[in-house]
Chain A
Amino acid sequence: EAQVTQNPRYLITVTGKKLTVTCSQNMNHEYMSWYRQDPGLGLRQIYYSMNVEVTDKGDVPEGYKVSRKEKRNFPLILESPSPNQTSLYFCASSPFGHGELFFGEGSRLTVL
């Protein structure tokens, strides 16, 4: 089944404790991206990657890091999480850059 898989789906952590949210897609897509969804703010792009070893900032990159060492994986790293990073995070992929996006089911992160 074609899908984008995120882990963990739910996480409660404390301020400053590094964490990684993994994302993997099995559709051989070139493009991958991370979004955060907050009430009243919609979906905001954090980082994106057009291809392996190519990443770029989205609209809200502060406090996040990403890497794209393999085509299928695009982990999101929070080096020192803060409460304002409490959010619902979505990974997405697309076969051709900024076209139709296929989203994962989301990772709900709470930073205390």
Chain B
Amino acid sequence: QQQVKQSPQSLIVQKGGISIINCAYENTAFDYFPWYQQFPGKGPALLIAIRPDVSEKKEGRFTISFNKSAKQFSLHIMDSQPGDSATYFCAASRAGTALIFGKGTTLSVSS
């Protein structure tokens, strides 16, 4: 069964620290790996995405690291801020198929 396993389930980070969320997948045919951010009372929104032809993608304080051989990818949030407190979902898909989401990580950044 195609799955995306996400960890940790919850994370508490101090302001200014680095938040790291990890995901692992099984299907080597996956070719699109997005991260979604969800604030309370809102729908998820695309944060950053990567394709397997690169090992890292950075957008501001957010970086995706991708390890194709290990079938793992991770989200790093540098200089974490209280405004980053949200639920984060990783996901994966291949052409013509639906996104499969991880179960989510609730991040709390303490000030």
**Residues on A close to B: CB < 8 A?**
4, 33, 40-45, 48, 58, 90, 92, 97-106
Contacts and interface: CB of A to CB of B under 8 A. Distances in A.
A42 B99 CA distance: 12
Nearest to B101: A43
Contacts of A4: 43
B105 to A, nearest CB: 10
- B: contact size bracket: 20 to 34
Contacts of B97: 98
A45 B98 CA distance: 8
Interface of B: 6, 9, 32, 34, 36, 41-46, 49, 89, 93, 95-99, 101-104
B43 A42 contact: no
Contact of A100 (B9, B46, B96): B46
A97 B32 CA distance: 13
24 contacts: A40-B9, A40-B103, A41-B103, A42-B101, A42-B102, A42-B104, A43-B89, A44-B101, A90-B44, A98-B32, A98-B97, A98-B99, A99-B32, A100-B34, A100-B46, A101-B36, A101-B44, A101-B46, A101-B99, A103-B45, A104-B43, A105-B42, A105-B43, A106-B41
A31 B101 CA distance: 17
A106 B95 CA distance: 27
Given A103-B43, A103-B45, A42 B96 contact: no
A98 B96 contact: yes
A43 B105 CA distance: 12
A109 B6 CA distance: 26
Given A90-B44, A92-B43, A106-B43, 18 more contacts: A40-B103, A42-B6, A42-B89, A43-B89, A43-B104, A45-B99, A98-B95, A98-B99, A99-B32, A100-B34, A100-B46, A100-B49, A101-B46, A102-B45, A104-B43, A105-B43, A106-B41, A106-B42
